[in-house]
Amino acid sequence: MRIVIVEDNAVLMEGLDLLLTASGFEVAAKASEAAGFLEAVRAHRPDAAVVDVRLPPSFTDEGLQAALAARAALPGLPVLVFSQYVEQVYARELLADGAGGVGYLLKDRVSRVDDFLDAVRRVAAGGTVIDPEAVAQLLARRRDPLERLTGREREVLGLMAEGLGNREIAGRLVVTERAVHKHIGNIFAKLDLGPDDGGHRRVRAVLAYLGS
């Protein structure tokens, strides 16, 4: 069984490589960031992928976004997310696509090597393995919807509330307009403001910020 790993912690990545190899798996490729992972998936067409959530450059949800992109490029690719964090929006999308072959384990809660290896095998076979704590966090209703936002997304939303446009926000934060556009898209998604809200999404996002 051929595995691709994406993990930014070099020590943990090498540990996973040794563990999987010693257990009869073939580690086809390793990557420390999303772009390298996607290239490896396309090149090696693995039987499964082990993915960390927070990867460079922003260390927010690049891993989950890469997992979704990998499953789009290689439909049905089994993915085991192995992370310290539960990222709400993209985790829901990954788990809800109906294709199976998905796992979500929290690093701090995996106490036995055999449990991890069993999860890899079950996910590769098309099953679903989800840590109960991950389920609890995904189902939890947050009182403050802004709790889902990253620090940078809160900054962007705060500047939106000041009436700044995308170009002005980019100048204030010294980032590109494209980056601002992406942050705003993430804000809309995390506040459950769908495309059908049209131009009102920006207003509703600001109202959520002011009412928080």
**What structural domains does the chain harbor?**
2-139 (3.40.50.2300), 145-211 (1.10.10.10)
pTM of the model: 0.66
Taking each continuous run of H as one helix and of E as one strand, the counts in the chain are 10, 6
The sheet carrying 79-83 orders its strands as 26-31, 2-6, 48-51, 79-83, 102-106, 128-130
Q: Averaged over 44-70, what is the pLDDT?
A: 92
Q: What single-letter amino acid sits at 209?
A: Y
Task: Check whether the bond before 57 is cis (ω within 30° of 0).
Answer: yes
The band of 49, judged by pLDDT with boundaries at 50, 70 and 90, is very high
DSSP state of 60: S
Q: Whose CA is closest to 74, among 47, 53, 35?
A: 47
Secondary structure (3-state) at 4 = strand
Task: Let me know the angle formed at the C-alpha of 102 by 149 and 77, rounded to the nearest 5 degrees.
Answer: 110
Average pLDDT, the chain: 86
C-alpha span between 157 and 173 (Å, rounded)? 12
- pLDDT digits 0-9 by tens, 78-133: 999 999 888 776 677 777 766 778 888 999 888 889 999 999 999 999 888 888 77
Among the listed ranges 25-34, 100-109, 155-164, 187-196, which one has the minimum average pLDDT value? 187-196
